Amino acid sequence: MAALLEVNHVSKQFGKDTKALKDVHFSVAEGEFVSIIGPSGAGKSTLLRCINRMVDATSGEIIFDNRNVLDLKKKELKTIRTKIGMVFQHYNLVNRLSVIENALHGKLGNKSALAGVLGLYSIDEKEEAMKILNALGLADLIYKRADQLSGGQKQRVGIARALLQNPRMLLCDEPIASLDPGSAKVIMDHLKNISTNWGITILVNLHQVDVALKYSDRIIGINNGQVVYNGSPKNLTKDDIQLIYGSEAEDLIFDVGGIHAS
């Protein structure tokens, strides 16, 4: 499998002396499901946002689909962004619009400005939206307003919006951090399904180590802006977790062996 995304020696500095990312280096193959774990403030969100340039990295290079994202001009950047879907912790839907309108927002990047402004979508686009909403179990809710949905439903709309971009890759910024365990499982199952059946690469920030172990093909551990672990979930040891989360976390985090056994 060829590498779809390569992050080479990327650093990000906020202000004079806040280093959010320090020489981050990894690559992601097409179709892979990669989890990024690490304590709050370690730079997970910054890293994801550097990839689609919602945040500009200070140095290094990010190669997506053989192009360096950091060199792109405004117009090319928009084209690349349409190929990278993003899912957020707080869903980031437009509350006053319906489910289907929110989902169709994924199509805006591929439309002419005027059609997008007026919200004119073709029959094909609407049917595609219906298909995806159906696959995510939202078929009965398409005309409901986004703010009437539960958290899990909102997140599924967020995923539908990202999928309607026909993306090569999904960036998920803590997609289940605000959800109850039941809804979280539904969301993670959908993401896993998208990865295996649709062949879309998934890069997901997670807080829950057990979830990361269960779902991902590979885990990247980040602490203090640096990659401290990069490998298969099977090889993740207690020592690695201590390295990622610091020694204080040792007591809080369950027995890794137990998780592997289950």
Partner 1 sequence: MEANEQMTNVSSATDPFLKPYPDKRLKSRAWNKSLVVMRTTLLLLTVLTVYAFVSFDYKEVDFKEAALGTLTNIKVMFLEPHLKHFTFLQAVHQVFVTLGLAFLTTLFGGLIAVLLGLLAAENLSSRRVSLLIKGLVSFIRAVPTVLWVLIFAVAAGLGSVAAVIGMTFHSVSYLVKAYSESFEELDRGAIEALQASGANWWQIVFQAVIPSSLTYMISWTFLRFEINFAVAVAMGAAAGAGGIGFDMFMASNFYLDIREIGAITYFILILAILLEVFGAGLKKKLKVNG
Closest CA to 125 of 174, 160, 80, 171: 160
Q: Name residue 81's beta-bridge partners.
A: none
Find the binder of partner 1 among 9, 56, 94, 237 (CB under 8 A): 94
Can residue 120 be called a binding residue for partner 1 (CB under 8 A)?
A: no
- For residue 56 the two structure tokens come to 């500009």
Can residue 93 be called a binding residue for partner 1 (CB under 8 A)?
A: yes
CA distances from 81 to 20, 51, 169 (A): 23, 9, 10
In whole angstroms, give the CA distance from residue 106 to residue 66: 23
Nearest distance in Å: CB 198, partner 1: 17
Can residue 118 be called a binding residue for partner 1 (CB under 8 A)?
A: yes
Can residue 249 be called a binding residue for partner 1 (CB under 8 A)?
A: no
Cβ partners under 8 Å of residue 176, min gap 6: 155, 183, 184, 187, 188, 206, 208, 211
Can residue 105 be called a binding residue for partner 1 (CB under 8 A)?
A: yes
Near partner 1 by CB under 8 A, which window of 27-35, 73-81, 180-188, 237-245? 73-81
Residues 145-204 that bind partner 1 (CB under 8 A): 158, 161-162, 165, 171
In the complex, the residues that contact partner 1 under the rule CB under 8 A are 52, 54, 78-82, 84-86, 88, 90-97, 105-106, 108-111, 113, 116-119, 158, 161-162, 165, 171
